[in-house]
Homo-oligomer: A and B are copies of this chain.
Amino acid sequence: MGEPPDAEDPAGATPPLNAAGRVILGMIGLGKATGYDIKQLVDKSTRHFWAASYGQIYPELRRLEGQGLLHSRSEPAGGRQRTVYELTEAGRAALDQWLRAGAGLVWELRDEGMLKLFFSDLIEPERRLAVLSQMRSALERKRDQLVELDRSLSEPASGPRMTLEFGLGMTRWMLDWCEQAERRLTPEPPD
């Protein structure tokens, strides 16, 4: 009746993938090799809906290897250290299982602009407009980034392209909403 020894989780149900584990296993499934590569791709492409930092990635790579989902080999480039990861059979299975799982999907938003609008009855109308305009300019920046990314993406129809189109569409929708709200709240100048 003791706890089984950890480290290799023998004959055990692998614990479900945590947030970092999901994106890492996926990226390695797509062929990304090193922690650094993964971080680059995350920052370029999934950051807008699923972020990850080095502080998560490197420890998680090791945890996943400890669970037998990844296999690493050292492949220095010149004198430069480099650890390349690939999926094991178990890793491929875990990734597949997660991708197919029918359970509830995480969906969490933290939007400070919305929170300020929620409380904006406490401030003057001009200040409410200022919040909207701040939101709008942040969204414009994000839209430009995504448009740029869109240009650099080659594949015609693919997962990455779908999510980019979604992100761009949603950003544009939010931008429109801000603009409309600003117009609605701006007092008519008497002409």
Using Cβ atoms and an 8 Å threshold, which residues of chain B touch A30? 119, 121-122
Which residues 107-153 of A sit at the B interface, judged by CB distance below 8 A? Answer: 107-123, 127-128, 130-131, 134-135, 138
Known: A118-B160, A159-B119, A174-B170. A111 touches B100 (CB 8 A): no
Docked complex Cα distance between A52 and B124 (Å) = 26
A93 within 8 A of B: no
Contact stretch, chosen from A2-10, A19-27, A55-63: A19-27
- Among A23, A98, A100, A116, find the residue whose CB has the most chain B CB atoms closer than 10 A: A116
A66 within 8 A of B: no
Q: Which residue of B lies closest to A164 (CB)?
A: B118
A95 within 8 A of B: yes
Using Cβ atoms and an 8 Å threshold, which residues of chain B touch A173? 169-170, 173
Q: Tally A residues with Cβ within 8 Å of B.
A: 58
Mark each residue of chain A from 74 to 103: 1 if its CB lies under 8 Å from any CB of chain B, else 0: 000000000000000000000110111010
Stoichiometry, as copies per complex, reads 2
Which of B49, B95, B104 is close to A110, meaning CB atoms less than 8 Å apart? B49
Mark each residue of chain A from 147 to 172: 1 if its CB lies under 8 Å from any CB of chain B, else 0: 00000000000111011001101100
- Report whether over half of chain A's contact residues are helix, strand or loop; otherwise say mixed: helix
Using Cβ atoms and an 8 Å threshold, which residues of chain B touch A117? 159, 162-163, 166
Known: A115-B22, A174-B170. A105 touches B50 (CB 8 A): no
Give A contacts to B, CB under 8 Å: 19, 22-23, 26, 29-30, 45-46, 48-51, 95-96, 98-100, 102, 104-123, 127-128, 130-131, 134-135, 138, 158-160, 162-163, 166-167, 169-170, 173-174, 177, 181
